[in-house]
Amino acid sequence: RPVMAGTLPARVTSTTENDTYGHIDKDGRYRVNMLFDRDSWETGFESLWVRQSRPYAGDTYGLHLPLLAGTEVAIGFEDGNPDRPYIAGVLHDSAHGDHVTIRNYKRNVLRTPANNKIRLDDERGREHIKVSTEYGGKSQLNLGHLVDGEKQQRGEGFELRTDSWGAIRAQKGIFISADGQARAQGQVLEMQAAMSQLEQARSLAEALRSAAEAARAEL
């Protein structure tokens, strides 16, 4: 048999016209259209099912990022066997540009077609993390150096916000404190500072009560 060296370009296809996502079978395999193939095929049947190489995979676990119909992929061949193709990688092209460019190349970004987003910015002195979804307007968790769409600072620390409903629920209790705990040192539920302030408040209330009783007695 012939031996295939390197990879060949192809595009992910779908059995449905104008389908957003590529069609997969029960095993998560795709069909692709080899770019050198000039024959006419029924849409979504241009190849046999092709496995996709992933950085993490196993029984009941793994990493799956759905490919869109029309996405360019590089087809490799197991042991060079032309009958054993697989998707070796996914490529940007002139029609589907990379969302990370020289403008934001210090960012590590996972962004879906629906703009669900996890962003980790490694620019020194401006580090931040953003987790965001568009559902219900926009809901976000922002950490660190908070910026707007133009990379202008809009705050620092953390922000949890939504344009929709929000709820905080903890069965065992919630502890909210403005007491410092530098560099994330100490126990999460350290309450000594809060307890000291409560004790001071109790002592002050007792003193005020005693003073009020004394004033009433003098009258």
Phi and psi angles of residue 151, each rounded to the nearest 5 degrees, phi first:
65, 20
Query: Nearest Cα to 12, choosing from 93, 67, 80?
Result: 67
Confidence band for 17, pLDDT divided at 50, 70 and 90: confident
Per-residue pLDDT reduced to its tens digit, 58-110: 988 999 899 999 999 999 999 999 999 999 999 999 888 888 888 888 899 99
Contact 49, 29 (CB under 8 A): yes
Confidence band for 133, pLDDT divided at 50, 70 and 90: very high
Per-residue pLDDT reduced to its tens digit, 19-64: 778 889 999 999 999 999 988 888 889 999 999 999 999 988 999 8
Q: To which H or E segment does residue 214 belong?
A: helix 192-218
Confidence band for 219, pLDDT divided at 50, 70 and 90: low
Per-residue pLDDT reduced to its tens digit, 138-151: 999 999 999 998 88
DSSP 57-101: EETTEE---PPBTT-EEEEEEGGG-TTSEEEEEEE-BTTB--S--
Confidence band for 218, pLDDT divided at 50, 70 and 90: low
Asked whether the whole model's pTM tops 0.85, one would answer no
- Euclidean distance between CA atoms 143 and 134, whole angstroms: 18
- Euclidean distance between CA atoms 180 and 110, whole angstroms: 33
* DSSP 8-state symbol, 104: S
Average pLDDT value for the chain? 91
- Euclidean distance between CA atoms 76 and 6, whole angstroms: 7
Per-residue pLDDT reduced to its tens digit, 171-186: 999 999 888 888 888 8
Give the CA count within 13 Å in the CB-facing half-sphere of 193: 12
Q: What is residue 164's predicted lDDT score, i.e. its pLDDT? A: 96
8-91, CATH topology level: OB fold (Dihydrolipoamide Acetyltransferase, E2P) (2.40.50)
